[in-house]
Amino acid sequence: MVEQAQTEERHSWSWLTIELALYGLILALALALRLSGLSIRVMGATEAAGTWQAWRLAHGEAPQGAYSPLLLSAQALLFALFGSGDAVARLVPALLGSVLVIWPFWLRPYLGRCGALAASLILAISPTLVYSARYADGVAPLTVCALGVLVLWLAYRRDGRPSYVFAIAVLVALAAIADPRAIGVLLVLAAAWGVERLAFARNVLDIASAHRVNWKAWGIVAGATLLLAATALTLNPNGVGAWADFPRAWVQHLAPVVNGQPWYYPLAALLMYEPLLILFGAIGAVDLIAGRSKATVLIWMGLGMLVWSTIAGGRGPGDVALICAPLALLAGRAIGNLGESWFAEARLGREGLFLGIGLAIAVYVAFNAAFYAFSLHRSLPESQQFLWFWVLAMAVGVVLAGLVLAWYGSAVTWRVGGVLIVIVLLLATFSAAVGLNYGRANDPRELHVRIASDEGVHDALNVLQRVSLHQSGHPLSMPITVQAAVGPVWRWYLRDWEQVRIVEELTAEVDTPLVLSAAEHEPPALGERYVGQDFVAQAWWQPGRLSGSEQPWWWLYRKSIAKPEPTQKVIVWLQSE
């Protein structure tokens, strides 16, 4: 009986392998990075506009204007169940963004087991993908769905499982109503399949006769999913109209934006936040092409999204996220091959020894780079000393690599150097993810942020609540008049106030105890009975303002002498007694 019980217990856990456990740990890491402190960053204007409409739907009002039907439906459901807030509004993108890390599991035949795990880890800690998942718009759902379609289609062509086809139907429908960028993704995907046909005479849509798709059933599943998700389970029929406006919104995304990102922003962002993806993604791409793998469509998808993001005038972090997703899979392929080589052929007394020496040199190089940036920023005389120490350490590393190459050949040199670079860049990537999404989430000096709602929004809200609490006994009960020009951020943050009146212009007829107005050149005609205090609501910064001595300091720590400039201020007016 005891032996039978032990046998049954072993069988009950037989599905849990080390590989699946590692995927579970990576998923837990992805969730931790995306769900922790979701309300740290002040709501931006774009996400506040859509979130405000979801709040209206949750309270029985019809949403208006442009929004993501998919995100609005999910947000409205969460608001109805759990109440509203910044963290709840960003919960759906954060959860869906975490799903990215499981897609490589189905690409193990193309990436290898080690490669799939490496790709999963990169997707989990990518600063850009974490940032997009912590932003309340449709980019994270679109990225997850678009990559899922690619992955599952490749898996279906190999395995022929019908469940993959219907999962693709659901993902296509959700991607279509997630964000207007879905149109660009569709065009790039079509171009990628065209390149596959020209370069390899390979029809990506061609499948074995045993794996034929029931397109009628596929269309029914896709259509039903689209209609139900777009209309919030028929509660918001206007969602179909919002989806119909996607082509117009997509065309507007192509137009230049005032104070927007320059054309080279996607490349600069990849260099700053995703060097691991660039280096090993290129290596993985070469490997796939050399092996004529059917997964080469990932290469054309990544290149296509890079070209597309440089063309789009409204380019932003979401466009870079769509580049990072396929790049991560390519980088996983290269790192996986390196890992398999290490586990199969590396020796502790050879590769292990040189890797230890290399890590020590890398730590010394990092410290001297930090000291050099700090001393240069402070104009200290020791800056040149640290620079020479840094150059010397780099020279020692090059000499060591040359000796390993001469003694043991290129294979050993690549294993040692490659693993060293992977370790260094993984640590740098994780550090950048934490800094961007936690330490400097509201700092416009982050390249992905550039224009950000300022902490002054929270300061102004705290003042309003304290005044209301002091004079009425409740922090949200005092009547307040809000000028419409302050924007959607304030409509969102004042949603729970009991008496809010929004007007286009402020006149002498306004008589509420509290007034919130945009800070314009001429004060509003409220009369002498009001006194006001201004607050910074939005700030902007550009790297072009950096001096040469500040460049290293900014690249390492996103700090500069030039402070972000306010682009929007608001004034809180209090009626004097």
Distance from C-alpha of 136 to C-alpha of 146, rounded to nearest angstrom: 18
| pLDDT at residue 179, as a whole number | 94
Q: Name the residue type at position 314.
A: G
Q: How many CB atoms lie within 10 A of CB 215?
A: 11
CA distances from 201 to 294, 315, 326, 357 (A): 11, 33, 22, 47
| The predicted structure's pLDDT at residue 25 | 96
- Distance of CA 158 to CAs 24, 70, 127, 214, 351, Å? 25, 31, 32, 17, 37
State pLDDT tens for residues 447-485. Answer: 998 888 888 899 999 999 999 998 888 999 999 999 998
- Contact indicator for 237, 171 with CB cutoff of 8 Å: no
Query: Residue 89 has what pLDDT?
Result: 95
Spell 292-301 as b/e; 16+ CB within 10 A means b. ebbbbbbbbb
Q: Residue 401: which region, alpha, beta or left (left: phi > 0; alpha: psi -120 to 50)?
A: alpha
Question: Which pLDDT score is estimated for 14?
Answer: 56
pLDDT of residue 5: 47
**Contact indicator for 342, 115 with CB cutoff of 8 Å:** no
* Parts of the chain with a pLDDT under 70: 1-16, 201, 203-211, 521, 577
Do the bridges between strand 480-483 and strand 500-503 make them parallel or antiparallel, or are there none, so unpaired?
Answer: parallel
Q: Of 56, 87, 86, 60, which is closest to residue 72 (Cα–Cα)?
A: 56
State residue 16's pLDDT score. Answer: 66
**In the block, residue with structure tokens 């990628």:** 192
Predicted TM-score (pTM) above 0.85: yes
DSSP letter (8 states) at residue 61:
P
- In the chain, domain spans: 6-340, 346-439, 454-575
- Residues facing 501 on adjacent strands: 481
Q: In the block, which residue shows the tokens 């240069």?
A: 376
Tokens of 104: 């490589």
What token pair was written down for 326? 């396929």
Strands 514-518 and 500-503: unpaired
Q: What is the pLDDT of residue 521?
A: 64
